[in-house]
Structure 1
Amino acid sequence: MNRRFLSVAVAITASTALLLTGCSSGGGDDDGSDKIKGAGQDKDASASTSPSAGPDGAERPETTLPRSFQVAFDGWTNSDPKLQAVLDDGKERLRASYAAIINKDPQDDALTFYSESDALRTGTEWVKGFTNQNLVLIGKGRVFQPQPRISPDGSGTLFYCVDEGKGSTKDTKTGKVTAMPADDALVLYRTKLRKTKGGVWKTTMVQTERGACT
């Protein structure tokens, strides 16, 4: 079966099964809609990471994806700087996940920097699902309709949609390319985040649901 290549490892039973078997694969509270309406510079060889200082002064790894795999983030701006910070770090965590696969490194510095708790465990397992099969990502992905929230207890949530329709996996040993079926391309991400004392929003949990973006 075709690997659903953009679905980051999840904490719900059905999606976890897909991961382990390698099958085709404004401020407020944490309660959000289960559906979302609407459906860097790049180098040639591999993803790269270098440190950079964010607007809060915290030093963050800077991830650069190769030209062979492009990701567009549509509508990832917010007039509230606190919510924009959630968007920025949530975006970098997703980019770091892709970079880890391209780098064939489940312990990639950026992925481990932006992840902790369950998101760190499932994220590294997800990357291993590709590296163990000699797969890398190619093509294009689109990430859109982000919904950031900060709850009264200070925790964050970030929902967004990913369109996998123009993405594929490539076997680095055989050269075989497997495309994502267009009719199964939209995935809803639900993530939880925690703000560190240094001001970084680290992702603590990731859930995905195919078909929940309309």
Structure 2
Amino acid sequence: MKRRFLPVAVAITASTALLLTGCGSSGGDDDSLGKAKGTGGGGEDASAPASPSPKPAGIKRPEVKLPKSFQVEFAGWTNSDPKLQAIMDDGKERLLASYAAIIKGDPQHSALAYYSEGDALRTGTAWVKGFSDRDLTLIGKGRVYQPQPRISPDGSGTLFYCVDEGKGSTKDTKTGKVTATPAGDAFVLYRTKLRKTDEGVWKTTMVQTERRACK
């Protein structure tokens, strides 16, 4: 099936069709991936960008930086439970690594590989390649809000969050053409699953995205 790669959030959904059909939300504890609470609006979250996440001692993690041409704000990205905060911190870095990989045009970006494994790594790499194959990069701004972290009885983690990419666009690096994200497709709900490694890193193992599930 021919896929049309659209700006920012729309491109995520377009390039993760296999992920969406292969990672269902039914059955057992994974029911938590099928629903998200409080996705009706993001206005109550703090508007200030989140402070850099503290890095646990003894773990050398890649530093992910985005250029001024594309910035991401994380609103309300704090939790009083340090265990849940750790899930949020590594989930945040994984999303930033995805954006950084697109901007660099590098599907094999080291930070994306560091924070991803399994299906999340395969689909993330394919998503980035969809941009690089078409000479597309990202510009503008994104906003990530309403994080919902959870630790399941089996020790795995889940992290839901909303992304507003209404102020984001794609830019053709060869022609300079800029395409804005359609207003109707700007809001995306992310459902992610994570696994904690022996070193204490929460690696994302699965990602589901749903357009228009957030406001």
Same fold flag (TM > 0.5): yes
Say if 2:5 and 2:130, in contact at 8 Å, map to a contact too. no
Q: Deviations over 1:16-47 (max 9, x none)?
A: xxxxxxxxxxxxx65433452314x9xxxxxx
Larger fraction in helix: 2
**What are the residue-to-residue correspondences of 1:5-154 with 2, within 5 Å?**
5-6=8-9, 7=12, 10=16, 11-13=19-21, 30-32=30-32, 33-34=35-36, 36-39=39-42, 54-154=55-155
> Can you give the 5+ residue segments of structure 2 that lack an aligned partner in the other structure?
23-28, 43-48
Listed as ranges, the matches of 1:133-212 within 5 Å are: 133-212=134-213
**Superimposed CA distance per residue, residues 118-156 of structure 1 (whole angstroms, 9 cap, x where no aligned partner):** 000000000000000000000000000000000111000
Instruction: Give the TM-score of the pair, scaled to structure 2.
Output: 0.82
AA aligned to 2:40 is: K
Q: Which runs of 4+ in 1 moved over 4 A?
A: none
Taking the aligned partners of 2:171 and 2:201, their CA distance within structure 1 comes to 33
1:3 alignment partner in structure 2: 6
TM-score calculated relative to the size of structure 1: 0.83
Give the number of equivalent residue pairs.
190
Counting aligned pairs with the same residue, the percent is 71
1:61: how far off? 0.3
Contact kept, 8 Å, 1:192 with 1:203, in 2: the verdict is yes
Contact 2:7–2:179 (CA<8 Å) still a contact in 1? no
Counterparts of 1:2 and 1:109, CA distance in 2? 23
Deviation at 1:55, TM superposition (A): 1.8
CA distance in structure 2 between the aligned counterparts of 1:145 and 1:180, rounded to whole angstroms: 21
One-letter amino acid of the structure 2 residue matched with residue 12 of structure 1:
L
Q: What is the identity, as a one-letter code, of the residue corresponding to 1:37? A: G
Name the one with the larger strand percent: 1
User: Which secondary structure does the structure 2 equivalent of 1:12 belong to?
Assistant: helix
Unpaired runs of 5+ in structure 1?
15-28, 42-51
Deviation digits for residues 41-67 of structure 1 (CA, Å, limit 9, x no counterpart): 9xxxxxxxxxx9822421110101000
Cα contact 2:187–2:214 (8 A) shared by 1: yes
CA RMSD across the alignment: 2.2
